[in-house]
Structure 1
Amino acid sequence: MTQTAPYAIRIQKTGGPEVLEVQAMEPRAPGAGEALVRQTAVGLNFIDTYHRSGLYPLKLPVTLGSEAAGVVEAVGEGVSDVKPGDRVAYLAGGTYATHYTGPAASMVKLPEFVSDEEGAAIMLKGLTAWMLLFEIRPVQPGDTALIWAPVGGVGSILTPWAAHLGARVIGVTSSQEKAEKAKALGAAEVAVGYDGVAAKVRELNGGKGVDIAFDSVGRISAEGSLGSLKPRGWFITYGNASGPVDPIPPSRLAQGGSLVMTRPGVFNFIQAPGALARGAGLVFDALKAGVFKADIGQRFTLKDAAEAHKALESGKTTGATILQP
């Protein structure tokens, strides 16, 4: 197989980064309602590591990946929204590849001011931030929001966007260096370290609890989030960077003062007609207005996906990571 021949990154079994394999592939011609895309940039996300490890089981063997961007090469019968030559981005399974064939309805045409890399970097993360800020418990001016990992892939979009909407953001991160970056992104206060978070947050918030906790860390952060909330506050747990959250009895929510807990997934929020276009439109508008940037912190070749996974899981990445086919 030559360097330019079509290939995909697949797994035959779950496990560590070493299970990622480069395999030759034959791009599939688009069927009715589909488009074939030559991919130019693939986004790396924590959910990819959950699929690889088996935390979120998939039928094996499988091509990993959940977002990408590229140029449409061909369209199937009945497709009119996109055409060959269009630059598009999308959320989809199986994007760790040089080519992707899938539903054209799930593809969003990229505006001129959004590059392919930016499109791949912000589709999943940007739509996740949109879901968190607008669709679950809409953030209002005057809210106080706790954001874990405020300079990570989603956090680097969520933090400035929440602040732009008028929320007072308190971040929780692992180092002073990341704390400074979180403040540059719009966090009013930052708690450093994952021990005693609830006490730190209340101290930073005049002794009061926060309205919403946006928690992408999971197992080690859940109790810190719950303890940081004011009565009737929202615990939005949307990631498992430290592992899945242990079961939480309903009585714990009552003890916190009638707390609300939800575990959202972005794909459930873009299924309704028009939802994807609405969400992507808000993401692109905010990007154009400078509310946030497509913060691409690092790039790897797609064939080095295993190294990218290692960097992501070790906490050594900031912002978004792009895999280059």
Structure 2
Amino acid sequence: MLIFTQEGDFSKDLRFTEWDIGFVGSALDDRGEGAIDFLRDNCEKLIEVNYDPVEMELAIGEKSYIVDDLDTYFETIGNKRVVIESTTLNFSEILLLLSGIKSVVGHATLLYIEPKSYERKRTVTFVEKRQFELSGETPVYKPIPGFAGLLNEDIVQKVVFMTGYESERIDRAFEENSIVPQNSSLLFGVPAFKAGWEMNAFANNVRAIKDLSIEGEIYFAGANNTCAVYDVIDTVYNSLDETEELYLAPVGTKPAGIATAIFAIGHPDVSILYDHPVKKEKRTSEIAKWHLLDITLDHE
């Protein structure tokens, strides 16, 4: 597994070769519009992707595939150059795209753009000043085929949450799954995208730590540093003994989600907990740094 990263204040700062296929989601904010415009100029073809967690189907363009049949699509790609626009895609879509690409191509590029600001909750109370409106409807935690383990009390399951601003997603994970607080850990994005933003994540998650009696480790890795997050996950994974299993819950920043996806597809004994949130329109405003990640996966 090789990951080469680069970043810039503008798209013109990035070094790349044009791609054959760009996989994208829906543009909901300035970042999404900027990302899709950039790929439209630098890809032969753009294909919109959307995962349905109820039907467990991935729509790729005009056709939907059950997850077990995705290989039939990816076999048509051949050796084409592929870019995944991760700003507009959800974690589940990134995970399934990378998994399919690994089985056929073995290499992909991911684009991600940081926001300059997040949309705060419309409130004037001091207590809620760090609350943000990032997600609309959030379905229950539903398994992603190929990455779902069975949480039960007979096996020691270590759960690591990649934290963000939405602590209610961690609350819901405990409500809907048999998670043991003593075996649960949190990873915070430090340094944050912008100095001071880490305090939002701390403030919003400290209550969850206390109320849920979470007693595991607290880890730190840069909010925009996919490689650093991957290294933390790898350290946790290598610390497990034969009676323990690792579950990863990517409820934080997208770079942490990318690291989670890359690690999971390379380690089939690792499971994913994910709640498939529906992102709100205009959840962020303006564009900050641009990131390109070139990933070489272990080709099967």
User: If you compute each CA radius of gyration, which structure gives the higher value, 1 or 2?
Assistant: 1
Both proteins in one fold, TM over 0.5: no
* Bin for the TM-score computed over the shorter chain: 0.3 to 0.5
